[in-house]
Amino acid sequence: MGVYIRQFPPRARTRIAIGDTDGLWSLQEHLQALTVDELRIANWQRANEGVKPSKQSKPPKPMARPGQGRGRDKNSPERIAKRKAALARAAERRRALAGGEIT
């Protein structure tokens, strides 16, 4: 079935619905993103010309492209669930301290 779905056009709703984002951008869009990345790097180089390395700004990050992992998502469902659990534990601990259960 997966082979059959991969034969669909890149922007087919079925491919997008199953999370296949490899074909969302055409070659032209990828080339435009590459051009933007190169321009950002060139501007960064010119802005930091003659500046001490310790005073230079950080180099620009490339544009995110479909199908490429962007690392950890700050608002991923797992991270949100862990944060809520930690907040609940902290609230429970504060209640226990206020009630004298923990000294």
Looking up tokens 């490429």 gives 68
Q: What is the pTM of this model?
A: 0.51
Q: Which of 37, 32, 58, 34 is nearest to 47 (CA)?
A: 58
Question: Cα–Cα distance between 45 and 53 in angstroms, integer?
Answer: 12
**Who contacts 98 (Cβ-Cβ below 8 Å, separation ≥6)?**
none
Helix, coil or strand: residue 20: coil
pLDDT over 70 at 52, yes or no:
yes
Each residue of 15-35: pLDDT tens digit?
778 777 666 777 888 899 999
What single-letter DSSP state applies at residue 85?
A: H
Query: Can you give the pLDDT at residue 72?
Result: 59
Question: Cα–Cα distance between 101 and 73 in angstroms, integer?
Answer: 38
**Who contacts 64 (Cβ-Cβ below 8 Å, separation ≥6)?**
70
